[in-house]
Amino acid sequence: MIRIDFSNLMQDAVGRNGLTKDDFKNIDTKKITEIIETRKYPELEFLDLHKADTSQIKELGKYASKFENLLLLGIGGSALGPRSILEALSPFHNFKNRPRVFIYDNVDPATLKNILSLVDLKKTVINVITKSGSTAETIASFMIIWKILQEQSLKLEEHVIVTTDPEKGNLRKIVKDYCLMSLQIPHGVGGRYSVLSPVGLLLAEAIGIDSDDMLKGAKDIHDKCMNADLWQNPAYLFSSGLYLMQQLKNKSITVIMPYADRLKSFSEWFCQLWAESLGKNGKGLTPYPSVGTTDQHSQLQLWMEGPEDKVVVFVSIEDYGVDINIPDVFQDMEGLSYLSGHSLGELIRIEQEASEIALAKNGRPSITIKLPKIDAYHLGQLFHFFEISTSVAGFLYGINPFNQPGVEEGKNLTYGMMGKKGYEGKREEFEKYRTRKSFEI
Ligand code: PA5
């Protein structure tokens, strides 16, 4: 089970920048618990994902696993979750007898060109993921791949697996019209809360990860995170700790710092979840991705001595699954020989703690999440824990953590310029603003 250490958030450890137990007394856990229990927002359906039947995902995952390549098309929550599973559980994407995975989550033409030069579509299964079924980036790339599949006389129903809403959207219609293989993202589950749905689990199965292990992890942490007692609930403590840090101590940046290369994409997943869920009505917390030890040599200086506006969330790994001893060389060089006799695992663990202590000594707060190891079970726990914590943080701010109204205007202006019917006015607006640019170099 993951464990969470909040001690460096408290005044005892970090002095005037820290919280006292008393600071938590106004956190209305009753209200939060009520929001959750009454399912005030239908999007809280993500809480039930750990109970899902995975048989269809397993069946299609087995089918996908036979291909040489798996090309995933999606963006936002429809790509960040799958990518963090891939990177955490298959670091070099080279499982024996498993597909090579390509995740195309942008409309950068150079990337797609490169992917297409590497994969033979005859030996490729395409998983197109979009909850809404209409996201421009995903649909544009799908249209390109669709055309190539047709040109190569490949059977769409053998090469395409669609993951989308059970009923709504253009993609569901395409599934029906062309009898395509498909999986359903439960209606109430939004993009950034969907990693433990078929969005992430199909890829997991295709690369040989048992999706039930991920769901078991989520299930095992679920009840703890539903406890109405703040001091017994890690998700309530995490979200209210960071919320209070902003309200009382002006710390509005949340740095996420796992000490594992395999969790770099996990950091990006967290950043989307935290940013898109909480950044509303002039409120929110700004996420900042980083990785230890690498960013100790890049960012730590700023966190130690720069503006006092951050809380660092460390993710420490207890067991890396492997270790490498540092050999007995350079014995005549005092400045280097101290490393001999230790291991890389020891060094990285000590460095993580050293950063935590150094920050605390300088009055800079942090939280440490202790991960026993990076496997499907614990990754499932991390995902579920952060999803619950994020939605609870949203409730503390009094905002809806499940929508993203702020991204609509950019989409509408794009629709206008790309000629979508009904958006003609947006084209005019776009052109008007474009000509207002007054300073170019
Ligand atoms: O969290 C969200 O809802 C968004 O970030 C979506 O994941 C993203 O916009 C992609 O949406 P869709 O899955 O509908 O293509």
Q: Which of 58, 93, 224, 411 is catalytic?
A: 411
pTM: 0.96
Average confidence (pLDDT) over 43-47: 98
Nearest CA to ligand 1 atom 9: 76
Distance CA 101, CA 124 (A): 10
Domains of the chain (ranges, CATH numbers): 3-36+215-397 (3.40.50.10490), 46-211 (3.40.50.10490)
401 lines ligand 1 (CB under 6 A): no
Residue 438: band (very low, low, confident or very high) from pLDDT cuts 50, 70, 90 = low
Structure tokens, 369: 């999440």
Average confidence (pLDDT) over 83-97: 81
Least confident of 54-68, 94-108, 132-146, 273-287: 94-108
Quote the ligand 1 centre to 80 CA distance (angstroms): 10
Other C-beta atoms closer than 10 Å to the C-beta of 398 total 10
Average confidence (pLDDT) over 105-114: 96
Q: What is the pLDDT of residue 95?
A: 60
Instruction: Give the three-state DSSP class for 127.
Output: strand
Q: What is the pLDDT of residue 182?
A: 98
191 lines ligand 1 (CB under 6 A): yes
Other C-beta atoms closer than 10 Å to the C-beta of 418 total 11
Lateral strand order in the sheet of 366-373:
3-5, 366-373, 310-319, 253-258, 286-289
Tell me which DSSP letter residue 419 carries.
T
Nearest-atom index, ligand 1, CA of 193: 1
Residue 434: band (very low, low, confident or very high) from pLDDT cuts 50, 70, 90 = confident
Best substitution site from 80, 132, 272 to test ligand 1's pocket, by max atoms within 8 Å of Cβ?
132
Quote the ligand 1 centre to 359 CA distance (angstroms): 36
290 lines ligand 1 (CB under 6 A): no
Average confidence (pLDDT) over 158-162: 98
Structure tokens, 409: 């205007």
310 lines ligand 1 (CB under 6 A): no
Q: Are 206 and 61 in contact (CB under 8 A)?
A: yes
Nearest CA to ligand 1 atom 12: 130
297 included as an active-site residue: yes
Q: Are 293 and 259 in contact (CB under 8 A)?
A: yes
Residue 90: band (very low, low, confident or very high) from pLDDT cuts 50, 70, 90 = confident
CA distances in angstroms from 194 to 186, 199, 315, listed in the order given: 9, 6, 22
> Is 271 exposed, middle or buried, given 0-12, 13-18 or 19+ CB atoms closer than 10 A?
middle
Distance CA 192, CA 13 (A): 34
384 included as an active-site residue: no
User: What is the total residue count of the chain?
Assistant: 441
Distance CA 100, CA 419 (A): 36
Instruction: Give the three-state DSSP class for 162.
Output: strand
Nearest CA to ligand 1 atom 5: 76
Helix, strand, coil abundance in the chain, percent, nearest 5: 55, 15, 30
Q: 44: which residues sit within 8 A by CB, 6+ positions away? A: 36, 188, 391
What radius of gyration, in Å, describes the C-alpha atoms of the chain? Answer: 23
Q: Which of 297, 421, 432, 437 is catalytic?
A: 297
**pLDDT tens digits, 369-410:** 999 999 999 999 999 999 999 999 999 999 999 999 999 889
**DSSP letter for each residue of 299-352:** THHHHHHS-S-EEEEEEEEEE-S---BPPS--TT-HHHHTTTT-BHHHHHHHHH
Q: What is the pLDDT of residue 96?
A: 67
Instruction: State residue 154 phi and psi, 5-degree precision.
Output: -90, 145
Q: Which of 137, 276, 356, 387 is catalytic?
A: 276
**DSSP letter for each residue of 31-84:** HHHHHHHTTSSGGGGGGGGGG---HHHHHHHHHHHTSSEEEEE--THHHHHHHH
Other C-beta atoms closer than 10 Å to the C-beta of 251 total 21
Distance CA 434, CA 428 (A): 10
Average confidence (pLDDT) over 109-122: 97
